[in-house]
Amino acid sequence: MTENTVVIGAQWGDEGKGKVVDLLTEDANVIVRFQGGNNAGHTLVVGSRKLILHLIPSGILHEDKKCLIGNGVVLDPEVFCAEVDTLNELGISAGPERLKVSYKTQLIMPYHKRLDTLREEKKTGADKIGTTGRGIGPAYEDKAARIGIRAADVADPELMRQKIAKALPEKNALFEHLFQVPPLSPGEVFETIRPFARRLVPYLADVSTEIDQEVKNGGKVLFEGAQGTHLDLDHGTYPFVTSSNTVAGNAPAGSGCGPGIPERILAVVKAYTTRVGAGPFPTELKDETGDYLQGKGTEFGATTGRKRRCGWLDLVLLGESVRLNTPTGIALTKLDVLSGLPELKLCVAYKYEGRQVLYPPQKENGLAGVEPVYQSLPGWEEDISGVRSWDLLPAAARNYIERLEDILGVRVTMVSVGPDREQTLFR
C-alpha cells in the first residue's frame, strides 16, 4: 500500500472489511478505527486461526503495526479490556506501545447498554430496530448532549465520578418511570467501571498527533470503517441505521486528521447482499436461494449470532454508495459463495410510485416501497475458492464482475474467494 487508505462497507455491514483491512495492513504503518464501537464484528482468518474483533482495529495481528482508536468511536472499557486479554492470551501483544485510544473517545457506560436493551424490548413489531444492544445509540446521544464521559476522564477518577452523577438523573427518570426498573446509583456505576477505567489509562494518547507524525515521517495510514454505508446515521435507511456516520467522509473527522490525508478509498462489496437486524431490503430472498446464500456464506452475525438476511446484489443501493463515498476501487468479497447457482440476478433499477428510478428514494423508509428490477446473468458451477488469478476465474464470474464495474463505474481491484488471507486475487 503506497497510499493512505480508507476502507468502508458499501452495503449493510459484514461485507468482509476485517479480512480486507488485515490484508492491507501489511503495507500500512498505522490502522485507525474512526466510528462505531463493539457493535462491529470483524472476522480475521489466518490459516486455522479465526478471530473476531469488535473494537480493536483489525491490524492488530501484525505485530509491528500501530493500532489507534479515534475520537469518533464509542468505547466500552469492559469490552476493550476483554479484547486486550484475548489477544494477549493468543500471544498477540496489545499493549499501550502499539495500541492507543484517543483522549476524546466517548465511553459506553453501563447505563447506555441498559437503556439500549430496555428500549428495544419496549418497542413492538415494525418499530424494532434490532440493535446489537451494546449501548451504541445512547452513548452517541450523550456525546451530542454534551454529557458524555470521555476516555481522558479515566485519568481523573474524581471528575469521572462527578460526570457520572450528572449524566445519571435523566436516565434514572427513564429507568424508574418509563421502564419501571430500579434506578442506578452513581457510586455503583463508578465502582463497576473503575477497574476497567484504571486499565485504560496507559492507553490514552493524542491520536490526532500520532497520525500527523506518522504521515510526516512518510508512514501510511489505514482507516478501518465499521458497519456499512446504508447503516449511516444520515444517509442510511433511517431509522433502521446505526448511530454514527459510516461513510468515508467521516474517516478524517473521526480520527482527527484533515480531509486531505486519505488518498484512496476502497469500498468493500459483498458479491450478494446481507442485512442483520430490521429495515427495508428490496432484493431480500425469502426462498431457497436465500437459504443457499445464508448457508453457504455462513451468514450469521459476528456480534450477535443472529441469522443474516440474504439477497441478490443491489446495484441501485451500491450506486448511492459510490456517490456517497467516491471509492477509487472496490474489494469484492465472497464471490466463491455464488458458485453453484445456475442464474444470478443483479438489481439495476427500482420501480417506485409507478416510475423506474436509479437511486433509492430519499423519503423516510422509501426503500420499503420499491420493487427491484433485475438483469439476469448466467452463473457458474466451478468451485473458485482456490483461484488466485483473474484469468483463471470462470468466464461467467468475470462477466458478473465486469457488469458490476460497467454499471457502477468503479474498478474491482481486489476479489476475495474465501475467508483466508491467501484466498484473494489482485487486479
Nine cell digits for residue 357? 428510478
For ligand GDP, give the closer residue by CB, 24 or 204: 24
Report how far residue 211's alpha carbon sits from residue 121's, in angstroms, rounded to the nearest whole number.
41
Which range of residues in 13-21, 117-125, 318-326, 384-392 is near Mg ion by CB under 5 A?
13-21
153 touches Mg ion (CB under 5 A): no
Closest CA to 301 of 114, 10, 40: 40
Q: Between helices 157-173 and 110-122, what is the axis angle to 10°?
A: 20
Question: Exposed, middle or buried by CB within 10 Å (0-12, 13-18, 19+), for 97?
Answer: exposed
Q: C-alpha distances in angstroms, 343 versus 9, 338, 339, 379, 385?
A: 26, 10, 10, 5, 19
For ligand IMO, give the closer residue by CB, 318 or 387: 318
Binding site for ligand IMO (CB under 6 A): 9, 12-14, 39-42, 129-132, 134, 136-137, 226-228, 231, 242-243, 276-277, 302
Which range of residues in 35-43, 56-64, 201-209, 386-394 is near Mg ion by CB under 5 A?
35-43
For ligand IMO, give the closer residue by CB, 224 or 320: 224
- 132 binding partner (options Mg ion, ligand IMO, ligand GDP, none; Cβ < 5 to 8 Å by kind): ligand IMO
Binding residues with Mg ion: total (CB under 5 A)? 3
Binding residues with ligand GDP: total (CB under 6 A)? 21
CB of 47 to ligand GDP, least distance (A): 13
DSSP per-residue letters across 219-251: --EEEE--S-GGG-TTTSSTTSS-SS--STTHH
- 417 binding partner (options ligand IMO, ligand GDP, Mg ion, none; Cβ < 5 to 8 Å by kind): ligand GDP
Q: Do the beta carbons of residue 326 and residue 248 sit within 8 Å?
A: yes
- 333 binding partner (options ligand IMO, ligand GDP, Mg ion, none; Cβ < 5 to 8 Å by kind): ligand GDP
Report how far residue 396's alpha carbon sits from residue 377's, in angstroms, rounded to the nearest whole number.
8
249 touches ligand GDP (CB under 6 A): no
For ligand IMO, give the closer residue by CB, 137 or 418: 137
Q: CB under 8 Å to 389, separation ≥6 — which residues?
A: 425
Report how far residue 167's alpha carbon sits from residue 169's, in angstroms, rounded to the nearest whole number.
6
For ligand IMO, give the closer residue by CB, 186 or 311: 311
CB of 234 to Mg ion, least distance (A): 21
- 334 binding partner (options ligand IMO, Mg ion, ligand GDP, none; Cβ < 5 to 8 Å by kind): ligand GDP
337 touches ligand GDP (CB under 6 A): yes
CB of 25 to ligand GDP, least distance (A): 13
The one-character DSSP state at 149 is P
Q: Report the residue from 29, 33, 36, 42 that binds ligand GDP according to the rule CB under 6 A.
A: 42
Q: Do the beta carbons of residue 139 and residue 145 sit within 8 Å?
A: no
Closest CA to 69 of 255, 198, 248, 246: 255
Cell 462477466 locates to 399
CB of 54 to Mg ion, least distance (A): 9
Report how far residue 393's alpha carbon sits from residue 338's, in angstroms, rounded to the nearest whole number.
13
Q: Are strands 313-314 and 329-333 parallel, antiparallel or unpaired?
A: unpaired
42 is annotated as an active-site residue: yes
CB of 352 to ligand GDP, least distance (A): 29
Torsion of CA 63, 66, 71, 75, to 10 degrees: 20
Catalytic residue among 22, 42, 230, 314: 42
Say how many C-beta atoms besides its own lie within 10 A of residue 423's C-beta.
Answer: 20
Nine cell digits for residue 3? 497510499
25 touches ligand GDP (CB under 6 A): no
For ligand GDP, give the closer residue by CB, 7 or 233: 7
- 136 binding partner (options ligand GDP, Mg ion, ligand IMO, none; Cβ < 5 to 8 Å by kind): ligand IMO
Report how far residue 86's alpha carbon sits from residue 375's, in angstroms, rounded to the nearest whole number.
46
- 131 binding partner (options Mg ion, ligand GDP, ligand IMO, none; Cβ < 5 to 8 Å by kind): ligand IMO
Find the binding residues for Mg ion in span 289-328 (CB under 5 A).
302
The one-character DSSP state at 204 is E
Site for ligand GDP, rule CB under 6 A: 9, 13-19, 41-43, 45, 302, 333-334, 336-337, 416-419
Q: What positions carry a catalytic annotation?
A: 14, 42
